[in-house]
Structure 1
């Protein structure tokens, strides 16, 4: 844990320009975030810096377990941790992975050389990787970095993850300011990537610069010096206990509100799934109705064509019915063929039927003994040969009529379509 930083907070305008610049880059140097989430990532980081100015957005190289290196955004700095009436600053790094914000970021405790990670710790691994319930129950798009840091601060205040290791300073004239600590490699990872576990580090700064360890750790012998004894006033103790109680109540209320919001979000997701299913059903029904409409339009066109054909036939043959009431109706002239093929079909059909009648009459004559059997066979053979030619001619005429009818229907269809 470190005291509050004396460096001024980053300029909000410079932070906005920096995020707009790195998130708008294209090509090989662009950050590996999807285009539809870059605006939300920018808003999350701006809100985080606005609430916690000690955190600064940066870009750094992150190395995965498989050796892949990728340039990612991170929030590097310290977060406040109240513990026993004293506010400590916990150095952390929040990595925004490629899948952010749909999935939770990777959070690491970033101890300086004067700090040691508590072992074991329920939320921090020896490599510094942080694991709290808020990260495990990350919900897109309601979860954000500000709430994450608030949960980190609350979790660390119940069980601080770091303590400072102090050694006696051999310098007889100690300096009141701590020596600068070396920068930590940005490519930290554990389950996300390779991160060397931090070893114990010896502080080279003067004793008394950092706040005391929250664990009451026994330190190496220090040079004897006068320490003023102070006893807490009963009112201060009561005030501190009341504040702790209020913090616990507020934390419980926040957890309850969060659970209620999660249930509400789950209900909205369920309603969204139902609406999507109904949308698919409506689209399917609409497509079926459109197909049925097209089929009915096709049938209507066929009916209109047949109606036109019948109307034409009635108009052509309407004058021929005037002579049906007279006695001198010529049977051969009662029906007129529309074309040569129809006339040829009529002749072949009538000849075929006439031969059928003749063969039937010959059968009766043979049975009555009017015609000899040899003569019957000879006549049936001649009539069958003639009937075969008539039927073959009728089949060819019928095929030609079918082709003509198809051509006529196509011509009529083009007229209706146009």
Structure 2
């Protein structure tokens, strides 16, 4: 970085939230505009808070009616840069006066749509200075004081320091600002008045560059008469105000429509994600369903084959089918059959009692006898299973 101690600048930016981004921003500006020099000085806010901030102080070249003038400015970078917009002032010398407009107030505070619409990531100091050059080329922020007029210099003016640089220890506390980040000003000063209001009236003095700031600036003789060019300039100023208001309204309308479209796009993206999730689940369910259908068809084919095989075989005699191969199995089979018969007998005894065929004494006596015999059969079956090695 030519002419700037980068290590010192890093030290100044050490307490900033994003020092690397601020350093890149300052480096880019100094490389393009040699008339701006970074320094660190205390800045006092309206609430009395003092903070050491880095500022870019010096001049920027502005072309007005074919002549190039060096307009003195000061750009203060707050510690949240580039998240929040910087604080900008015009720095008039002792023989210069501020030309108030919608862009510059009586105290030199600069108001620009670029500052008001400052967006981290897209807004930068270089773009801000380029907007200043274009804006001040159409509407200069300063003009030369008449030499014959004895105009006292305000106490809050920027006085020249040794070396020819116009510096200020801090901006005057009378600068208008609204509540913003940590006492920092926000743009615009109020929601109802985006820029400082003023009465458009032409000034007979062209922008002044001063010695060391650019070429000569002639000062016409004051006659106190409003001429045609004055009225023309006043009308042009009024038209500029009206066009700026309409442009701002159109910009805000387009911005609102853009935000609405952005929200709609986000909702559509969310809906697309939900639909993709549902489609994925349906595809998985369809795949599982196809597998189950294939499995059922295989089982159905197996059942058809089994039915066909059984149909082609000869009929099986039930007595032959239950013939046991060992005396133990025969004993188990007979015990099981007799126990099942006893269970049926007990059931029908209960039905007979319910229908009144037998009385209660007969029922109890018969059920007690059958139950005792059923118990013995079950014990025999359990013992037989144990001997045969079957599951109990």
TM-score (norm 2): 0.51
Distance 1:102 1:309 in 2: 70
Q: What does residue range 19-418 of structure 1 map to in structure 2 within 5 Å?
A: 32-33=17-18, 45=29, 56=36, 58=38, 60=40, 74-78=55-59, 91-97=72-78, 99-100=80-81, 103-110=84-91, 124=105, 130=109, 132=111, 134=113, 137-138=116-117, 140=119, 141=122, 144-145=127-128, 146-148=130-132, 150-151=134-135, 157=141, 184=167, 237-239=227-229, 241-242=231-232, 245-246=235-236, 248-250=238-240, 252-312=242-302, 314-315=304-305, 318-323=308-313, 326=315, 329-330=317-318, 333=321, 354-363=341-350, 368=357, 372-382=362-372, 385=375
Report how many aligned residue pairs link the two structures.
Answer: 311
Report if aligned partners of 1:93, 1:108 keep a CA contact under 8 Å in 2: yes
Q: C-alpha deviations, 1:393-414, integer Å up to 9, x for none? A: xxxxxxxxxxxxxxxxxxxxxx
Secondary structure of the 1:132 match is coil
Give the 3 Å change call, closer, same or farther, for CA 310–90 of structure 1 in structure 2. same
Give the 3 Å change call, closer, same or farther, for CA 98–194 of structure 1 in structure 2. closer
Distance 2:261 2:18 in 1: 29
Distance 1:156 1:351 in 2: 122
Identify the residue that residue 385 of structure 2 maps to in structure 1: none
Distance 2:303 2:132 in 1: 87
Distance 1:389 1:115 in 2: 124
C-alpha RMSD over aligned residues: 6.3
Give the 3 Å change call, closer, same or farther, for CA 41–354 of structure 1 in structure 2. farther
Structure 1, unpaired ranges of 5+: 1-12, 169-176, 196-211, 215-228, 335-343, 393-418
Q: C-alpha deviations, 1:343-384, integer Å up to 9, x for none? A: x9x999988865542223334666655994454122343366
Distance 1:41 1:149 in 2: 18
Shift of 1:288: 2.2
Secondary structure of the 2:167 match is coil
Distance 1:132 1:315 in 2: 92
Distance 1:253 1:266 in 2: 20
Identify the residue that residue 337 of structure 1 maps to in structure 2: none
Secondary structure of the 1:276 match is helix
Shift of 1:92: 2.1
Q: C-alpha deviations, 1:153-205, integer Å up to 9, x for none? A: 77774x9799999799xxxxxxxx9975566357658667899xxxxxxxxxx
Give the 3 Å change call, closer, same or farther, for CA 167–255 of structure 1 in structure 2. closer
Structure 2, unpaired ranges of 5+: 153-159, 185-202, 206-219, 323-331, 383-392
Secondary structure of the 1:92 match is strand
TM-score (norm 1): 0.49
Shift of 1:296: 3.8
Secondary structure of the 1:283 match is helix
Give the 3 Å change call, closer, same or farther, for CA 301–353 of structure 1 in structure 2. farther
Q: C-alpha deviations, 1:55-83, integer Å up to 9, x for none? A: 526364676869796775x4422368999
